[in-house]
């Protein structure tokens, strides 16, 4: 008697079957998935970045206690992160100097991004802890996401896809050049 599982499906037929999923292939994120979203302290991208070349690490500005860099997986062009150098997980773990400089870098980032991109507003926030949506919850970081009146077009709403019109390296160079010295 032949088992119903003995029959092998033809992959070409299966792949052509329409379904409700819209797929955006992002093989560049495989390392992020395979290595986990929660690196140990030695592999923390926010601890490693300051030891790298600014261009390679996507750093746009460095302060004494904190620094600003582009998000490797941006929601919008110019999406920055502000991080303390010290490996602390939560906002209430940071000291007064770190918090003050993160605030100052955030204000400067807003001015710089507004001046070079003519954005209409910003989303600024921190996801504290994994359950709150932090991709890397072990190192404090604040998101600065520029927004434009027309950035909520049909593409992300209908196609569940975000179009980023500029490469990260180009955006980093432009923001870093416009950052006050």
Q: Which CATH architecture has domain 45-178?
A: 2-Layer Sandwich (3.30)
pLDDT value of residue 167: 84
Residues 6+ apart with CB under 8 A from 149: 120
Confidence (pLDDT) at 35: 54
Strands (E), the chain: 59-62, 66-70, 80-84, 121-125, 142-147
Best CA proximity match to 149, nearest among 129, 174, 173, 120: 120
Check residue 161 and give its pLDDT.
65
Collect the ranges in the chain with pLDDT lower than 50: 157
Domains of the chain, residue spans: 45-178
The answer to whether 91 and 128 are in contact (CB under 8 A) is yes
Tell me, what's the pLDDT at 149? 85
What confidence score (pLDDT) does residue 164 get? Answer: 75
Helices 168-178, 96-117: axis angle to 10 degrees equals 110
pTM above 0.85, yes or no: no
What positions carry a catalytic annotation?
141
Can you give the pLDDT at residue 73?
A: 85
**The predicted structure's pLDDT at residue 20:** 58
Residue 154 confidence (pLDDT): 53
pLDDT of residue 159: 58
């Amino acid at each position: 008697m032949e088992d119903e599982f003995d029959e092998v499906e033809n992959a070409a037929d299966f792949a052509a079957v329409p379904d409700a999923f819209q797929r955006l292939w992002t093989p560049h994120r495989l390392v992020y998935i395979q290595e986990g979203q929660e690196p140990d302290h030695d592999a923390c991208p926010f601890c490693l970045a300051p030891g790298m070349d600014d261009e390679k690490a996507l750093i746009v500005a460095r302060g004494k206690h904190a620094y600003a860099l582009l998000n490797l997986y941006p929601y919008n062009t110019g999406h920055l992160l502000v991080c303390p150098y010290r490996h602390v997980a939560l906002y209430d773990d940071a000291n007064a100097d770190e918090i003050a400089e993160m605030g100052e870098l955030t204000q400067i980032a807003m001015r710089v991004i507004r001046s070079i991109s003519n954005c209409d507003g910003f989303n600024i926030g921190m996801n504290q802890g994994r359950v709150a949506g932090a991709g890397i919850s072990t190192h404090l970081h604040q998101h600065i996401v520029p927004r434009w009146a027309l950035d909520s077009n049909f593409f992300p709403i209908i196609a569940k896809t975000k179009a980023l019109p500029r490469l990260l390296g180009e955006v980093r160079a432009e923001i870093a050049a416009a950052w006050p010295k």
